[in-house]
Amino acid sequence: MAAESWRIVLVTPGRKITSELLPLVSSEIPSAQVIELQGYPLDGKLGDIGPNGMICFLDLIADEDAGLQALAKIVAAMPSVPVISIIPAKGACGASTFAFNLAAQLRKGGSVRTLLADLDPVTGTQTFQMKLKPNFSFLEILNQGAALDADIWRGVVQSYAGMDVLLSPDSPVEGAQEMGNTRPILDSARRLYDNVVADLGNAYGEWALSAARASDDVFLVTANELPALQAAQRVMNYYENNSIPRQRIHLVINRFNRDVGLTKEMIETALQSDIYQLINSDYEGVQRALLDGKPIQDSTSIGKQIAQMAARILDKDAGKQKKKAEKAGPTGTLSGLFGLFSRST
């Protein structure tokens, strides 16, 4: 079919995806007719278009449930039309990049035994960020069960910039939705490390809930955009309904831009929760670090903010150890061992 005969249909409730796709479509098929359908309700909108020479781009980021319903209608009405779904590989708020840099800053700040655990069974990205090859993954830890010892652990983890890294599998885990409990991993980690940062790819399901229940602190990473904040509110409610106290959930606003989106005060009012840390938006600085496979430079505003947060966590850990030592009294020779159990996930 001639390029000038193509019709490109964009189905999205907002302009963000449209603004990103239009330049691409214009450069690749400059003569194609572009039809924008604002919003997901498609009743009465498809009949006048017809399937011949049509490619449909469907936005599933803004509202996945409504988008999937729209997809079913498109397929039912025009089964021959190719549909390209646009979905986020992850939450797309930079949680994995944040986890990597937080662990690195904890190590720099004095946490001698630090572990970064990539516990995302589907789309783990820490291997990419650090340019590591996952010879082994957290599955080896799970498979060992009660037989796990320190020697096996050392054979599974990799070393990076003075910290240990437990990677996710190289390929998505079959039946990832049914994966059970992270406790065998995190209970072993707490015996071996001062601080553990666990990167979870999904906030929902027993896999994520078990990690949250095992953690001293849950850092919920989001952005100052309405869809991201709505998702954060749903996660906080979900955790509360599953017996995870609100006071253990700390908001981290990543990619914060004062000129775009909601202000700090508006976010705290809307979510009825204090913001633990603001991380400024710095696309170029983050991309340079990702390409180099290194943490974000300390000299950048983001590097300083994450270092500030790491120092706050380490100060809290030090306070806990001091209280334990005071309770133990003059004969409290076990106070040094308690440090092995101090972790922030």
Among 69-73, 97-101, 235-239, which is the least confidently predicted range? 69-73
Cα–Cα distance for residue pair 200/181, rounded to 1 Å: 13
Work out the pLDDT band at 330, boundaries 50, 70, 90.
very low
Strand partners, 255: none
Is a pLDDT exceeding 70 seen at residue 27? no
Residue 83 confidence (pLDDT): 59
* 173-230 per-position pLDDT tens digit: 777 666 778 888 888 888 889 899 999 878 888 888 898 888 888 999 988 888 888 8
What tokens appear for 242 in the block?
Answer: 């599953």
| Range name among 259-268, 272-281, 295-304, 320-329 with the lowest pLDDT average | 320-329
Percent with pLDDT over 70 in the chain: 74
**Residue 198 Cα to chain centre, angstroms:** 10
- Which pLDDT score is estimated for 251? 92
CA 213 to the chain's CA centroid? 18
Average pLDDT over residues 64-77: 74
Q: What are phi and psi of 200, to 5 degrees?
A: -105, 130
- Do the Cβ atoms of 210 and 182 come closer than 8 Å? yes
Q: What whole-number distance in Å separates Cα of residue 132 and Cα of residue 134?
A: 6
Structure-model confidence comparison of residues 274 and 122, the more confident one: 274
Domains of the chain, each with CATH number or no CATH: 3-86 (3.40.50.2300), 95-319+328-341 (3.40.50.300)
Which whole number is the average pLDDT over 259-263?
84
The two three-digit tokens of residue 54, written as one number: 């049509």
Asked if residue 121 has pLDDT above 50, the reply is yes
pLDDT band, residue 336 (cuts 50/70/90): very low
Helix (H, G, I), strand (E, B) or coil at 248: helix
pTM reported for the whole predicted model? 0.68
**pLDDT tens digits, 31-65:** 777 877 777 766 655 655 655 667 778 776 666 66
pLDDT tens digit string along 129-171?
888 888 899 988 888 765 677 888 899 999 998 999 999 988 8
pLDDT at position 179 is 76
What is the identity of the amino acid at 220? L
Q: How many CA atoms lie within 13 A of 239 on its CB side?
A: 27
pLDDT at 3: 47
Identify the pLDDT of residue 303.
93
State the average pLDDT for the chain.
Answer: 78
The reported pLDDT for the residue numbered 17 is: 66
Dihedral sign for Cα 20, 25, 28, 31, please: negative
Q: Give the pLDDT confidence score for residue 321 in this predicted structure.
A: 59
pLDDT for the residue 331: 38
> What is the rounded CA–CA span in Å between residue 7 and residue 27?
14
DSSP assigned state of 29: S
pLDDT category at 326 given cuts 50, 70, 90 is low
The single-letter DSSP state of residue 294 is S
SS3 199: strand
Beta strand pairing status for 158-160 and 163-166?
antiparallel
